[in-house]
Every structure is written in C-alpha cells, then in structure tokens.
Copies of this chain bind each other. A is one copy, B any other.
Amino acid sequence: LLTDFGLKDSYVAEIKAVLLSRAPNVSIVDITHQVPKFSIRTGAFLLASAAPYFPDGTVHVAVVDPGVGSKRRAIAIQGKRFRFVGPDNGVLIPAARMDGPIRVHEIQNPKFMRETVSTTFHGRDVFAVTTALLAGGELVEAVGRSISDQVEPPYSSPRKVGNRVECEVVHADDFGNVITSVHGKDLAAWGIHAGNDIVVSIGRRRVGVPFLSTFSEVRKGGLVAMVGSHDFLEISVNQGDAARRLRLKPGARLVLEM
C-alpha cells in the first residue's frame, strides 16, 4: 500500500479497515504514505523500487490520485507474479512492467466498489474493495473490460550522445541521496565502471564526482556516485545530504560526462 495521504489523518486507516472488513486474513505492508502530494512520478518510482521484493501473489495498491472525481479510470493490472490496483494515471505502470507482460482492466463492476462511492476517496471506496476481492481469489478479468490505452508515467529515458548522458532526477531520498534515471546495467553496457570520475552538469554548474562502489571509500562529507540498491545511478554525500548540497529535486535535468 502506497499513498500520498500522509500520516496525520485517518484516510490510510480507512483503506485498511475496508480491506480487513472484506479480507480479514490479508497482511498489509505500508510502502510509504509520504509520497509528495499528487506526485505520480515519485509514487511510481517508489512502488517500482519496493514491489519486486514482495512475495508472489501480492496485490500492490497505489493511491496517488490528483484526478479523483474526474473521468480518469480506475484500473487493475495482472502481471506475472503480482497484481496492481489504482488510478489510471501511470503510477502503477513502471512496477507492473517490471513484472513481465501485463493485462490491464478498467474497474467498472459495482461488486468491486463500496455501495456508496464518494467523489474524493476512491482509495477507500474502490481500490480497497477491489484489492480485498482480488486477494480473496477474484480474477482481474472480473473487474471490467480489458483496455490497452492506459496512461503512461511522466518519465523520460536517459539519452547517451557520445560520452554524455542526459538524464533526470527521479527521487531524492530521506538521506539526501539523489537517484537518477540511469540504470547500472546501462552504464555497464556502455563500458562505464566504478573507478572512473563523472562530471555532473546541472544547468551551468559542473561538479566532478568519483564513481565508486561504496560510501566508505570516500571521506565523511565527500560526494560520490554509486549504483544504488535499486540499480539506479545515485549521487550521494557520505553521511550527508547530496540533494541539499547540489540543490536537486525530482524532475531536475542532469548531464553526466563520463
């Protein structure tokens, strides 16, 4: 369960209460509820980061839903190991695609909703009910018609031109690590390995950063680029905050020279 609801209110508990009312034996794991409000980009990244570690059969629910109450569709997705439930705005797609070929269905069948559906809280009134029924054995096909024009997430892929890689910041974590859109496996394919230096260009600023394999190879407070635990290239400060130091936020454009 991943939302942008924060932890001050009763909303997350209401989703869980509806889930447990209809599927008493499910075990619920919070991914986070502190996705920046309405940030489909961050929600999609965090869901895709955590999803693969869960047991087979897990139903992943993501409620980052700026379009609730409008005509945006509600969807359920069948992947290979997992199912996914949430709004049709791209937040589910990166995690679902990592789980192999996907089948997407629009949630239309009233059986998969509460009797009264509010215009502001589909997390409780639609997604919790759908999740409980899927966890209880219902098929994704039963929620409604198959669709193939689902909304894609707002990511751009990194582009390599000569020795320059144009990419973006996908997340700045609570430690201040800056996670870029460049995969470690792409760097390896391009012949770029730990031990080289990288020059990071942020607008007109240029910062040299050593590309290493662990924090502890740099002194406390030193900048370092590493392939992090999700196989993305990250820029970090050993025991410090790289996002603050470099003034980088999700969505910022970077050029890396290798």
Task: Please report A residues at the B interface, Cβ cutoff 8 Å.
Answer: 5-14, 16-18, 20-21, 24, 27, 29-34, 37-38, 46-47, 49-50, 53-55, 66-70, 118-121, 124-125, 171, 173-175, 213-216, 226, 228-229, 239
Contacts and interface: CB of A to CB of B under 8 A. Distances in A.
A228 B27 contact: no
B46 A9 contact: yes
B53 A32 contact: no
B55 A34 contact: no
A34 B12 CA distance: 13
A120 to B, nearest CB: 5
15 contacts: A7-B32, A8-B173, A8-B174, A9-B46, A9-B171, A9-B174, A13-B53, A14-B49, A14-B50, A20-B27, A69-B214, A70-B215, A119-B213, A119-B214, A120-B229
The 9 closest A-B pairs by CB, nearest first: A6-B174, A69-B214, A17-B53, A70-B216, A10-B50, A121-B229, A119-B214, A13-B31, A17-B54
